[in-house]
Structure 1
Amino acid sequence: MSPVLLALLAGAVVGLALGGMGGGGSLLAVPALVHLLGFAPVEATTASLVIVAITIATSLAAHGRDGNVRWRPGLLFAAAGLLPAALGGLLAARLPAALLTAAFSVLAAVAAVGMLRTRDDTPRTGSTSIARAAGAGAGLGAVTGLLGVGGGFLGVPALVRVVGLPVRAAVGTSLLVIALTSTASLAARGGTLSSLDWAVVGPFTAAAVLGAWDGRRLAARISGRVLQRVFGAVLLTVAALMLLDALVPR
């Protein structure tokens, strides 16, 4: 199968995940870029940030029109993550590929377990600690910058529990946070952008954008818990394969 066709198929799946659940697509984008399309881990995380940032920007506009983006808390949350995202982007280029792959697989496994378990995403009541919100935003930014993931699977629960947003608003607001932190990380990775195979990244991104719109429609018809469990099972398998790849050199 040609690389372009593989990129289109993988991009569609990533877009479905982003559109259907407000995040998690980058946890599939990186493995697809590495194992299906032959990208090195550092290039894959950079390409993933490009794909996620553009796909999320298109979804953010739709969520904004629907009134699901809380701009002030979202901007404050993102501001705390901008510097960690940039530093993470710089650090990623200096780490061994096997270490990046292993770290990514562990993160994917943690996210998968969280999706398979029933979680209480009830908004937190009472006053919100600025320090807690800043800490959560900084942590999310660092993960985004280092591993090239959007972080929606971490951002949505944090915005619900720490900031106190309703789930629907947290999904929309997390897109704003991810778009900004991804851009900060990409700015730090500027030197690796020119080395990307844009003949592959371009179709991948276009398919992800279209898939995200289908994902939003799919989410309206299928239970969110069902979507999470299916995605969690797939993600756990991907995490195991990537960890094996990191521990057993070819």
Structure 2
Amino acid sequence: MSALLATFATTAATPTVAALGLAIGVVLALTGAGGGILAVPALVFGAGLGMADAGPIGLLAVGMAASLGALLGLKAGIVRYKAALLVAGAGIVCSPLGLWLAQRTPNRPLSFVFALVLLYVAWRTWRRAHPHVAAADDAAAASLHAARAAARRAPPCRLDAGRGKLVWTAPCARALAVSGLLAGALSGLLGVGGGFVMIPALQRYTDLAMQSVVATSLAVIALVSLSGVAASAASGHLQWAVALPFSAGAMAGMVAGRAIGGQLAGPRLQQAFALLSAAVAAALMARSVL
């Protein structure tokens, strides 16, 4: 009887879960893979899941979105696939540790940590959404790059313009591997793709163009996220009854979001995403302390 009731409850909740996935898919399409950070809070508040249970399902949605972006980047030839494989390999090694910690950490402190990460993402998005702030950041980055060039300093990972490939050195491999370890740990612990770690890391440690940075980051996110989903499924911690309708809704939302993206894209959309992220972070913090 209890199994029958559980099956009925899951079936009844399927439309709600699919609708949540649809909303997250639209956000992913409009804001990029970073928008997937809202998948976990959506499952927590909308489907009543705990953080540890929502994480792998959120990873599945983020991984699917990042896979699409990475495939487009590979087709365009702007993914530095060796760097992506190194970073993702380090992330995949560390992701199970994050999953292990998530399953053994009480829900409230885990929610609070996630809220802090979400606030950081909201702050960065808000800053970049203001044209004068973005221009100032770009000018500061250009100035720093010029100063480093004048001092004959270079990031550890440099692009060979002739071959179109990174020049591999021990400092380069070490910097990228450490970045991957951090992204993997956060991916397993919080169910986030880690794009807010990877993009700044690739900007700092390489001299790749921004298009290549984003595409390579998406490849890393896809590999790490999907490996985390596989590990969670193998350990029996992935609720397929929720994951499948949520993922189906997310894919439908991505298609719809891409269709309307041209009309809605711009600074206002990024500001709205930042405000929504901050509001969700505040709700998570309140939930974790009350």
Query: TM-score by structure 2 length?
Result: 0.75
**What is the deviation of 1:216?**
4.3
Name the residue aligned to 2:197: 154
CA distance in 2, matches of 1:166, 1:212: 26
Aligned equivalent of 2:237 = 193
User: Would the alpha carbon gap of residues 155 and 13 (structure 1) be closer, same or farther in structure 2, given more than 3 Å must change?
Assistant: farther
| From 82, 85, 89, the counterpart of 1:75 | 85
Which amino acid in 2 is paired with 1:127? Answer: P
Counterpart amino acid of 1:142?
A
Quick one: percent identity of the two aligned structures? 34
Alpha carbons of structure 1 residues 20 and 155: separation in structure 2 relative to 1, 3 Å? farther
**1:174, distance to aligned residue in structure 2 (A):** 1.4
Instruction: Please name the residue that 1:168 is paired with.
Output: 211
Give, in angstroms, the shift of residue 88 of structure 1: 0.8
1:115/1:228 contact within 8 Å kept: yes
The residue correspondences of 1:126-165 to structure 2 (distance < 5 A) are 126-128=154-156, 129-130=171-172, 131-165=174-208
Greater Cα offset, 234-243 or 63-72: 63-72
TM-superposed CA distance for 1:233, in Å, is 0.8
Q: Answer with 1 or 2: which has the greater Rg.
A: 2
Deviation at 1:221, TM superposition (A): 4.8
Deviations 1:50-96 (A, max 9, x none): 22223332333233223342212211222222222121111111111
Give the structure-1-normalised TM-score. Answer: 0.86
The one-character-per-residue Cα deviations of 1:128-159 (angstroms, maximum 9, x if unpaired) are 24232222222111111111111223322322
Give how far 1:164 is off.
2.7
How does 1:1-250 map onto structure 2 within 5 Å?
A: 3-118=13-128, 119=134, 120=137, 126-128=154-156, 129-130=171-172, 131-189=174-232, 190-193=234-237, 196=239, 198-216=240-258, 218-248=260-290
Report the secondary structure of 1:143's partner residue. helix
In the alignment, structure 1 segments of 5+ residues that lack a partner are none
Structure 2, unaligned stretches of length 5 or more?
1-11, 129-133, 157-170
CA–CA distance in 2 between the matches of 1:20 and 1:154?
Answer: 20
Cα distance in 2, alignment partners of residues 145 and 246 from structure 1 = 20
> How many Å apart are 1:217 and its aligned residue?
5.1
Question: Could you tell me which amino acid in structure 2 is paired with residue 72 of structure 1?
Answer: K
SS in 1 for 2:34: coil
Matched to 1:211, the amino acid is G
Shift of 1:183: 3.0
Describe the shift of the 1:202–1:113 C-alpha distance in structure 2 as closer, same or farther (beyond 3 A).
Answer: same
The alignment of Structure 1 onto Structure 2 pairs a total of residues equal to 245
Residues 86 and 184, structure 1, Cα contact 8 Å, conserved in 2: no
Partner AA of 2:175 in structure 1: R
Instruction: Decide which moves more: 28-37 or 48-57.
Output: 48-57
Asked if the contact 1:22/1:172 (under 8 Å) is kept, the reply is no
Shift of 1:42: 0.9
Distance 1:160 1:220 in 2: 27
